[in-house]
Structure 1
């Protein structure tokens, strides 16, 4: 049985932390609001964390790279343990003010990291406030 890892980006203002429907009572909820918000810059207001301009801003102007390295370390501890103990589900959530820039970027980057490091897992990614970005 593979570990299923569900990753969400969400808005603290709109929907709040996503519900865990697996019966485990939740998982990780990382607050991205401490990272500078590219949504406050006119050229990025209509973009999302999947757009190159927003990504460049987050990677060069903010503490996002450091934040994500710490997140990778934390989630890896649990993923290693969950795999060893044959757990079935883990949820990882990233929230920001609007669920458009920082949380989307973080969810995308952590999903890619997990898929590469743990190919034996099944990763799903859900952008709760940006459904047009969802892909499987």
Structure 2
């Protein structure tokens, strides 16, 4: 054991892979790149199936050989697709120790989706006889609960297929060195705890940038906000203790056979302190070699809220 409070043990491969069925459920709004992601996962060694009816997923898992890896593409175009049904399926999978599952959500800005449909002149599957704007709006509303439940969210708005392949290779590689996936997310206590967190840290005791007029419109991803939060005299000790705890537990979770760990940082509004902590810990753990995914629930909700506005405003269509 090292005396350095910020040092981490070398991430290890999952020990019980031969006894666990790995499953990645790929979803997201139509046009965001789900089909491309499924093909990439197939290239990475997953048995890939697109548009599988939800009722067949449990039967497929019973028939699949243990130790393999499945990638299933599921979205609003699927036969039998129903968000509550999918959430029930995820709850069932949560209770199965023999299945290590993750929900991969391919997200995209609505204006980018509209441009993609305009360029290809394709009809939106949820509005075949109406405008693409209407289909995109319906898709976002339909998938809102699934988006919040996602373990890994990738925004494809600015990604090429090559960029997407690199990101999926980093997050879902099946090589022998595959490591525990760590999801770190920020949230607001006003909206309650996110689903499925394994560890939660409350950072509401730190100085709040909200009360600084020059920092209020920014969020914790901005360097000025991060500096303000880290200047709190209590920050250094808090960071040291949390980092030490996480560094101790990650190798232990790997030894237990856990494939995914979710860590949450909460503050009052989910915009400043929790975001700054999530960004810092995410970058530190990724730098130490862990497979890290970063999410900011309240910031993502504010971006996604635009789809609830009238289509012209939400999609940036010129009047």
Q: Structure 1 length normalisation: TM-score? A: 0.84
Which residue is 1:23 aligned to? none
Cα distance between partner residues in 1 of 2:222 and 2:269: 16
Task: Give the aligned length.
Answer: 124
Aligned to 2:279: 108
- Show the counterpart of 1:53: 224
Moved over 3 A (4+): none
Give the match for residue 3 of structure 1: 180
Contact conserved, 1:7 with 1:111, CA < 8 A, in 2?
Answer: yes
* Cα RMSD (Å): 1.4
Q: Does 1:89 align with 2:257?
A: no
Which whole-Å CA distance do the structure 2 matches of 1:63 and 1:130 have between them?
25
Residue 297 of structure 2 corresponds to residue 128 of structure 1: yes
In structure 2, relative to structure 1, the CA distance for the partners of 1:85 and 1:61 (3 Å cut) is closer
Structure 2 residue 207 is matched with structure 1 residue 19: no
Using a 3 Å threshold, how does the CA distance of structure 1 residues 104 and 59 change in structure 2: closer, same or farther?
same
**Which of the pair is proportionally richer in helix?**
2
Find the structure with the greater CA-based Rg.
2
Structure scoring higher RCO (CA < 8 A, sep ≥ 6) equals 1
**C-alpha offsets along residues 104-134 of structure 1, whole Å, 9 cap, x if unaligned?**
00001111111122x1x321111001126xx
CA contact (8 A) 1:54 1:101 kept: yes
2:153 aligns to what?
none
Q: State the secondary structure of the residue aligned to 2:264.
A: strand
Q: Cα–Cα, structure 1 residues 62 and 16, in superposed 2: closer, same or farther, change >3 Å?
A: farther
- 5+ unaligned residues in a row in structure 1: which ranges? 21-25
TM norm structure 2: 0.37
Question: Following TM superposition, by how much is the alpha carbon of 1:62 offset from its aligned partner in structure 2, in angstroms?
Answer: 4.3
Q: Which runs of 5+ in 2 are unaligned?
A: 1-13, 15-178, 304-319
